[in-house]
Amino acid sequence: MRLIALFAAMTSLVLSSVAVPTVAQTPATPPAADAPIEGEVTEGVIRPYPIAIAPFSGPHGADIAKVVAADLERSGYFQVIDPNAFIQRNLDVSVTPAFDAWRQINAQGLVIGADVLDADGRLRSNFRLWDIYGQQQLLGIQFTATPENWRRIAHKIADAIYEKLTGEKGYFDTRIVFVAESGPKTKRVKRLGLMDQDGANPQYLTDGSCQVMTPRFSSTSQEVTYMCLGDNYARIYLLNLDTRRQERLGEFNGVVFAPRFSPDGTKVVFSVERAGNVDLMMMNLRTRSTSRLTSDPSIDTSGSFSPDGRLIVFNSDRGGSPQLYVMNADGSGVRRISQGGGRYHTPVWSPRGDWIAFTKQAGGRFSIGVMRPDGSGERLLTSSYFEEGPSWAPNGRYIMFHREAPGVNPRLWYVDLSGRVERQAPYSGSASDPAWSPLLD
Amino acid sequence: MKKLLTAAAAVLLIAGVAGCTTKPKDDGGPGGPGGPIAGPGPGADDGIDRDTTAPIPGSEQDFIINVGDRVYFDFDEYAIRGDARPILDAQAAWLNRYRSVRVRIEGNADERGTREYNFALGGRRAAAVRDYLVSRGVDPSRIETISYGKERPIDPGSNEEAWARNRNAHTAITAGAR
């Protein structure tokens, strides 16, 4: 069975030369036009695709190969072969590999590369992806960037390999915003954290004087929105990651929370509590005008836009218990979509539009699950003593969330859409409320 | 909180038997804490010597020890429980006596729920307490409310007792106390 058949939608990828501000990409030779490589799935168990990634030659060559290997391994669909097992070594990037030597160590794919520093000081990284069994080159691309952006090059290489071999868009050249937690539960310090999706470059963007909750990335700009809770206030903020300028959004009587960007980045949907009633509101970020979306006496919170911006899914207990509802972006046409027993929370629409992820609470346990936008096809992907807060990778195939247990601080975890890959995320600190950025650039 | 209660216990020891009005340890299980033990109110002249560490009438300590600053809720509920009414009645009476005092009602939820929904639930609990106090004559302009959701538990435990304690609304004095 094909590796790519594990994914709901299969699209063939056409690699093109795209000029991007930070990392430039050009095909070194035209890629082979064959269909994606076949992996194997037997009885629901993934047999990962064995791939060999040789250290690249030149500056940052070993580092780039390691980051590429770690990205692919973390996806759960690749088994990276130990370089110590390689028979053929120090392969020049422009040379055809000795396929027998790679078949002997059971490699199905091979990545070789070379880095050089150009005269203008930029780092140019050139790699090839070889199909060992088909004995043909699948990819040949080169990326250029300033040398300090070598990690971005590595993630773009990993994305290109992942796309070619799975048929899915990559998700490695992304960042995660999250809440970094410290201190005792009764006096928890919660700061806004930012890191590469592989855990590199962690930074803390707030000082802990208020407790940060539920941050979200814009999908169109380098902006984050989040709520911060102080002793006598709860406000939502907009933070520009490039300028580090932070501004408060709006002034309201009552607490404000749960902010989310619209897909076009021009609006924020959020929740306001007044006199015990919690409703969804919308703010236009350009004009700063606000409008009310719901006016039910129930709790209406955790709004999330569909990727086309026309619909909003949200969490409401208007029917007596917390469930998921969908409405038009103007607040009309409210209908319930969650159908199972139990309590549903934190709905998040996939960037591909095909699923809505949620947190479900039932029988004393918490689960991350997905359902179709009409509520059908509900599947639980994970389950534990406590977990919540799903966030989609931009390819709509991975979900990050947080999990905790008695005596165990919250940690970031991720799961893939099949539910077969479930792992702790590569951030070792205590953390919650992750939100995934779009692909960078 | 613990330090205030230790001082109260010390006062009880020094002042003797029935003199002081004290409040039992703020340990609200599902049954809820009791109200103040019956006895003369603060400032009563009954001939018993009081230690000068007794709470000053109209002070924050007076409110916490002699009235009770926290009421508790059932799971996923924001209705004022029967056992909370006497405490809120006492809060209203105290606030109606000391009219310069301003308060902030902080609504809290236990950890067995998601962050945003529990934040909303805390807001409902704070509003329910505020509405009750207003219905007992307290001017609403003296009361602000906020939710802390599940973010500021008073009990770090992960068991039913801890969760019951963490489902509460706390009346914090923000200004005007002696």
Per-residue pLDDT tens digits for A208-241: 999 999 999 999 989 999 999 999 999 999 999 9
pLDDT for B146 equals 97
User: How far does A14 lie from chain B, in Å, by closest CA?
Assistant: 41
Interface of B with A in 101-120 (CB under 8 A): 104, 111-117, 119-120
A301 and chain B in contact, CB less than 8 A:
yes
Q: In the predicted model, what is the mean pLDDT of residues A340-353?
A: 96
pLDDT level of residue A23 (50, 70, 90 thresholds): confident
Specify the CATH number for the domain of residue A70. Answer: 3.40.50.10070
- Tell me, yes or no, whether A208 lies in a domain: yes
- Give the span between the Cα atoms of A345 and A338, in whole angstroms: 10
Nearest to B113 among A187, A361, A433 (CB): A361
pLDDT for B25 equals 43
pLDDT for A8 equals 32
Tokens of A70: 């770690």
My answer on whether A110 and A195 are in the same domain is no
Q: Is pLDDT of A21 > 50? A: no
Q: Which residues of B touch A231 (CB under 8 A)?
A: 146
The residue type of A25 is: Q
- Give the span between the Cα atoms of A415 and A359, in whole angstroms: 13
- Tell me, yes or no, whether A441 lies in a domain: no
Interface of A with B in 122-151 (CB under 8 A): none
Burial class (CB in 10 A: 0-12, 13-18, 19+), A266: middle
A388 and chain B in contact, CB less than 8 A:
yes
pLDDT level of residue A20 (50, 70, 90 thresholds): very low
My answer on whether A137 and A183 are in the same domain is no
pLDDT for A46 equals 77
pLDDT for A30 equals 45
Mention every residue, 6+ apart, whose C-beta is less than 8 A from residue B159. none
- Give the span between the Cα atoms of A120 and A192, in whole angstroms: 37
Q: Which residues of A touch B121 (CB under 8 A)?
A: 299
pLDDT tens-digit readout, B36-46: 444 444 545 55
- Give the span between the Cα atoms of A273 and A50, in whole angstroms: 53
Distances (CA, A) of A27 to A16, A150, B142, B145: 7, 18, 69, 60
Q: What's the structural domain count of chain A?
A: 2
Q: In the predicted model, what is the mean pLDDT of residues A203-208?
A: 96
CB contact under 8 A, B152 and A299: no
A345 and chain B in contact, CB less than 8 A:
yes
| A33 compared with A416, residue with greater pLDDT | A416
Percent of chain B clearing pLDDT 90 (strictly above): 69
pTM above 0.90, yes or no: no
Q: Which residues of A touch B147 (CB under 8 A)?
A: 234, 255, 273
Tell me the sheet residues that pair with A343: A361
Q: In the predicted model, what is the mean pLDDT of residues A266-287?
A: 96
pLDDT level of residue A28 (50, 70, 90 thresholds): low
3-state secondary structure of A153: helix
User: How far does B51 lie from chain A, in Å, by closest CA?
Assistant: 33
Spatial strand order of the sheet with B168-175 comes to B70-72, B168-175, B102-108, B143-149
pLDDT tens-digit readout, A81-99: 999 999 999 889 999 999 9
User: How far does B142 lie from chain A, in Å, by closest CA?
Assistant: 14
Mutate to test the interface with B, among A273, A304, A313 (most CBs of B within 10 A): A273
Q: Is pLDDT of A10 > 50? A: no
My answer on whether A86 and A189 are in the same domain is no
A344 and chain B in contact, CB less than 8 A:
no
Return mean pLDDT, chain A.
91
Please report which helix (H) or strand (E) contains residue A382, including its range.
strand A379-384
A184 and chain B in contact, CB less than 8 A:
yes
pLDDT for B18 equals 42
Q: Is pLDDT of A42 > 50? A: no
pLDDT tens-digit readout, A174-190: 999 999 999 999 999 99
pLDDT for B6 equals 46
My answer on whether A91 and A208 are in the same domain is no
pLDDT for A18 equals 29
B149 and chain A in contact, CB less than 8 A:
yes
Q: Could you list the beta-strand ranges (E) of A241-378.
A: 246-248, 256-261, 267-274, 277-284, 290-292, 300-305, 311-316, 323-328, 335-336, 343-349, 356-362, 365-371
Helical segments of A30-95, H only: 61-74
Q: Is pLDDT of A16 > 50? A: no
pLDDT level of residue B49 (50, 70, 90 thresholds): low
User: How far does A241 lie from chain B, in Å, by closest CA?
Assistant: 24
Mutate to test the interface with B, among A178, A179, A185, A226 (most CBs of B within 10 A): A185
CA nearest to A278 within chain B: B120
- Give the span between the Cα atoms of A107 and A100, in whole angstroms: 10
Mutate to test the interface with B, among A179, A278, A324 (most CBs of B within 10 A): A278
| A320 compared with A45, residue with greater pLDDT | A320
- Of A166, A196, A214, the residue that ends a domain is A166
My answer on whether A397 and A264 are in the same domain is yes
Q: In the predicted model, what is the mean pLDDT of residues A371-386?
A: 97
Mutate to test the interface with A, among B1, B110, B117, B151 (most CBs of A within 10 A): B117
My answer on whether A157 and A210 are in the same domain is no
The residue type of A284 is: N
My answer on whether A227 and A327 are in the same domain is yes
B168 and chain A in contact, CB less than 8 A:
no
Can you tell me the ipTM of this complex? 0.89
Q: In the predicted model, what is the mean pLDDT of residues A400-412?
A: 96
B162 and chain A in contact, CB less than 8 A:
no
Q: Quick check: A324 and A304 in contact, CB under 8 A?
A: no
User: What is the CATH number that goes with domain B55-175?
Assistant: 3.30.1330.60
Find tokens 């009750």 and name the residue: B132
CA nearest to A385 within chain B: B112
One DSSP character per residue, B53-94 reads: TSPPTTSHHHIIIII-SEEE--TT--SPPTTTHHHHHHHHHH
- Give the span between the Cα atoms of A398 and A176, in whole angstroms: 13
My answer on whether A228 and A86 are in the same domain is no
3-state secondary structure of A162: helix
CB contact under 8 A, A299 and B117: yes
User: How far does B55 lie from chain A, in Å, by closest CA?
Assistant: 25
pLDDT level of residue A27 (50, 70, 90 thresholds): low
pLDDT for A61 equals 96
Distances (CA, A) of B143 to A312, B70, B99: 34, 15, 12
pLDDT for B46 equals 58
- Of A141, A166, A191, the residue that ends a domain is A166
Percent of chain B clearing pLDDT 70 (strictly above): 71
User: How far does A301 lie from chain B, in Å, by closest CA?
Assistant: 7
Nearest to A346 among B114, B144, B174 (CB): B114
Mention every residue, 6+ apart, whose C-beta is less than 8 A from residue A338. A323, A324, A344, A358, A371, A375, A378
pLDDT for A408 equals 93
Specify the CATH number for the domain of residue A303. Answer: 2.120.10.30
- Of A118, A143, A166, the residue that ends a domain is A166
Nearest to A258 among B116, B124, B144 (CB): B116
Distances (CA, A) of B100 to A420, B55, B138, B170: 62, 18, 11, 19
My answer on whether A142 and A270 are in the same domain is no
Out of A44-48, B64-68, B138-142, least confident range: A44-48
The residue type of B145 is: T
User: How far does B173 lie from chain A, in Å, by closest CA?
Assistant: 12
Q: In the predicted model, what is the mean pLDDT of residues A274-287?
A: 95
Q: Which residues of B touch A388 (CB under 8 A)?
A: 114-115
By residue range, what is the domain housing residue A129?
3-166
Q: Is pLDDT of A295 > 60? A: yes
Exposure of A222 in the CB half-sphere (CA atoms within 13 A): 9
Mention every residue, 6+ apart, whose C-beta is less than 8 A from residue B112. A361, A386, B75, B163
